[in-house]
Amino acid sequence: MSSALTANGDRRQRTWRFRLAVLALSTLGVGVGAEIALRSILFGSGTSATARKLRQAEWYTPGFDADYWKLQARFALEGARSPLGPDARLGWTGDIELSSGAHRDEARLGEREPVLLFGDSFAECATPPEECW
């Protein structure tokens, strides 16, 4: 009788371990699946309403650090110009040719005098074209 109780206890213990392993693997699978789904929505090429709502850089970074600006550029609206990256001396260099320091549209200025803005992220105009100044 004692051996029957021991066998029954071993079976219960194996069943318990199996259920615990299934629970752990299921939880891991759901977590990995959710991560893949979120990344495909955030960084995919889709423009659904859900994707537009979730693409808010301030939700994923603690402040205005380098990661914030990388996500901001990545999540930029369609038609917005994204920054090409900061230069240690000039700041944002999106429309400046680094070899000469000239603006790419300088020929279109005519008689107007160009103004160089240092250290101002708004100067990059990383917004939709109708909001640029």
pLDDT, tens digit (0-9, with 9 covering 90-100), for 15-50 = 999 999 999 999 999 999 999 998 888 888 877 888
The pLDDT score that the predictor gives to residue 82 is: 47
The pLDDT score that the predictor gives to residue 31 is: 96
Cβ proximity of 85 and 93 under 8 Å: yes
pLDDT, tens digit (0-9, with 9 covering 90-100), for 72-93 = 888 876 445 445 556 666 666 6
- Distance, in Å, from the CA atom of 28 to the CA atom of 132, rounded to the nearest integer, reads 45
- In this structure, of 6-20, 83-97, 110-124, the range with the lowest mean pLDDT score is 83-97
